[in-house]
């Protein structure tokens, strides 16, 4: 009985840590949706590009040192902020005022383009992002958690706290929410919609840099890392596309469900249940509560 309880608790703790790391990527989706009312289907590719930026920077003699980590993080941060600004300016700004579906389709096309860039620029081999953290797991109650997972949990919680304050308390955050509600009305009130669009995409780039460094260190850096964006999509649907708290709760639900499925169902079916379990939960949620657990229900007059 005690062994079974320990097994369940270990699965839950492992799933919770992975789920919070999912939440970090989900924050990128939430940022763009809260500011532009559109879904960025290229968020996974943003994470991949940030990871490549960190991996290339750490290829030198500073790999694995604290200086190397700072250099890699700053490089990924500058890369993603500049990249996001340029992308918004050249591709997305001309779509300002167009139907939301136009922005969504543009991000889908950009995702396909971005996925093809690394193999022709830095090579197709898997790269690493070595961080100055212990290789051995850290004892946490009755469960041993990898140091990279613990780092991901801390970074996620700090990001959630900062973004929650930003959207609730800062004038810039309130203006972003106004732009998402109605671009035309926001323009009429004197809000510079173009500037806030650019800021929103730059912030999504920062989140992608954080996620890219952490997930790149955990899984390795190659084009398959972009699939984390699709992996995270059930998280934002469960929690609500416009809810920061929902991203955290959705990540916890998905991570724990994956862990329990792997622990209890995989031995009977040969594996793979954790890969589709989140999508089953997502479909059920869409059937009964399409706006998610914390999503804001929109009522439109026809």
Alpha helices in the chain, H assignment, sequence order: 2-36, 43-57, 66-87, 100-121, 147-169, 171-181, 183-188, 193-219, 228-239, 244-264, 266-269, 273-288
Label residue 191 exposed, middle or buried (CB < 10 Å: 0-12, 13-18, 19+): middle
DSSP 91: I
Taken in order 108, 246, 195, 184, the sign of the CA dihedral is positive
Give the tens place of pLDDT for each residue, 260-279: 998 888 888 877 788 888 89
Give the tens place of pLDDT for each residue, 23-45: 999 998 888 887 777 788 888 89
Whole-model pTM: value is 0.88
Among 297, 294, 296, which residue's Cα sits nearest to residue 246? 294
In the chain, the domains with their CATH numbers are 2-288 (1.10.3470)
Q: Is the pLDDT of residue 60 over 60?
A: no
CB 254 within 8 A of CB 235: yes
Q: What distance in Å separates the CA atoms of residue 5 and residue 240, rounded to the nearest whole number?
A: 32
């Amino acid at each position: 009985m005690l062994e079974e309880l320990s097994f369940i608790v270990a699965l839950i703790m492992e799933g919770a840590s992975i789920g919070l790391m999912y939440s970090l990527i989900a924050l990128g989706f939430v940022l763009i949706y809260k500011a532009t009312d559109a879904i960025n289907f290229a968020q996974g590719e943003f994470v991949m590009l940030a990871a490549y930026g960190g991996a290339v920077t750490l290829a030198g003699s500073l790999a694995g040192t604290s200086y190397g980590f700072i250099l890699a993080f700053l490089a990924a941060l500058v890369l993603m902020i500049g990249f996001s600004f340029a992308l918004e300016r050249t591709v997305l700004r001309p779509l300002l005022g167009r139907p939301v579906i136009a922005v969504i389709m543009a991000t889908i096309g950009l995702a396909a383009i971005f996925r093809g860039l690394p193999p022709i620029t830095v090579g197709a081999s898997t790269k690493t992002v070595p961080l100055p953290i212990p290789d051995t797991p850290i004892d946490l109650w009755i469960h041993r958690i990898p140091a990279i997972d613990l780092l991901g949990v801390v970074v996620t919680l700090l990001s959630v706290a900062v973004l929650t304050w930003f959207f609730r308390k800062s004038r810039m955050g309130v203006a972003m929410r106004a732009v998402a509600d109605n671009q035309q009305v926001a323009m009429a009130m004197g809000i510079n919609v173009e500037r806030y669009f650019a800021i929103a995409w730059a912030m999504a780039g920062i989140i992608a840099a954080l996620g890219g460094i952490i997930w790149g260190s955990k899984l390795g850096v190659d084009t398959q890392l972009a699939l984390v964006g699709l992996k995270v999509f059930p998280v934002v649907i469960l929690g609500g596309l416009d809810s920061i708290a929902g991203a955290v709760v959705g990540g916890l639900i998905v991570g724990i469900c994956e862990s329990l499925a792997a622990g209890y169902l995989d031995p009977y079916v040969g594996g793979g249940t954790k890969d589709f379990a989140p999508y089953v939960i997502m479909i059920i949620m869409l059937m009964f509560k399409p706006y998610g657990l914390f999503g804001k229900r929109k009522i439109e007059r026809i």
